[in-house]
Amino acid sequence: RLKDPADDLSRTLFERLSSLAPSSTIRLTRQYRCHPHISRLASLLFYNQEVLDGVAEQDREPICFLPPTLFLDTSSLDRAGVPSFMDKEIASDSFLSDFGPDVQELRNWSDFHEAAAILGLLSRLVGANVPAKQIGIICMYRAQVGMIQRLLLLLEKA
């Protein structure tokens, strides 16, 4: 057992070290890499809205047909649009068993329809010859990352 809640392993090393000596922590105050729409999300979620943008929206051209950030509501989707080989595969025990002990986390923290929509967008970007280094997928949950990676492997095999 952990003696101190500050040692909680669900917290990142950065968070634990910061809590030990808050006055010696150097935090990001201005970012120059991301489109301002993306940095606003990171600033809100992780930096108490304290990170400023060092670039303007017009400094970051849109990629292809997409806005800088895109939120999809997949709650009304069904499996009608899923390729048959993929539908059979994701229904099988082997699909879930590859996640090992994390299978419950996968069920609780991932969304197949969202992953399928992401793969559809990714396919369109690749088809439009967008360089891989310009494509980023941000997932709020590790299980969703695993779901997307697994579906990408399925597509490679097909």
Question: pLDDT tens, 90-139?
Answer: 555 555 555 555 555 666 777 888 888 888 888 888 899 988 888 888 88
Q: Are residues 74 and 138 in the same domain?
A: yes
- Domain span at 26: 1-61
CB 98 within 8 Å of CB 150: yes
Q: Which amino acid is at 108?
A: N
What's the first-to-final CA gap in the chain, in angstroms?
Answer: 46
Average pLDDT of span 76-102: 55
Q: Are residues 74 and 52 in the same domain?
A: no
Confidence of residue 33 (pLDDT cuts 50, 70, 90): confident
Q: Which residue has the higher pLDDT, 25 or 98?
A: 25
Q: Which residue has the higher pLDDT, 153 or 88?
A: 153
Give me the pLDDT at residue 41, please: 84
Q: Are residues 84 and 155 in the same domain?
A: yes
Q: Are residues 109 and 154 in the same domain?
A: yes
CB 153 within 8 Å of CB 115: no
Asked whether residue 48 carries a pLDDT value surpassing 80, the answer given is yes
CA separation (Å) from 144 to 5, 11, 16, 116? 27, 19, 25, 11
**Interior angle at CA 79, CA 69 and CA 137, nearest 5:** 25
Give the tokens for residue 7. Answer: 């040692």
How far is the C-alpha of 11 from the C-alpha of 154, rounded, in Å? Answer: 33
Give me the pLDDT at residue 30, please: 93
What total number of domains does the chain contain?
A: 2
Q: Are residues 73 and 145 in the same domain?
A: yes
Give the tokens for residue 142. Answer: 């590790």
Give the tokens for residue 156. Answer: 């490679």
Closest CA to 114 of 146, 85, 77: 77
Among 46, 61, 76, identify where a domain stops. Answer: 61
pTM of this prediction exceeds 0.75: no
Q: Are residues 42 and 92 in the same domain?
A: no
Q: Are residues 96 and 33 in the same domain?
A: no
Q: Are residues 11 and 86 in the same domain?
A: no
Q: Are residues 101 and 70 in the same domain?
A: yes
Average pLDDT of span 15-25: 77
Average pLDDT value for the chain: 76
Q: Are residues 80 and 148 in the same domain?
A: yes
How much is the CA Rg of the chain, to the nearest whole Å?
19
Among 40, 61, 82, identify where a domain stops. Answer: 61
Q: What is the DSSP letter of 64?
A: T
Q: Are residues 75 and 139 in the same domain?
A: yes
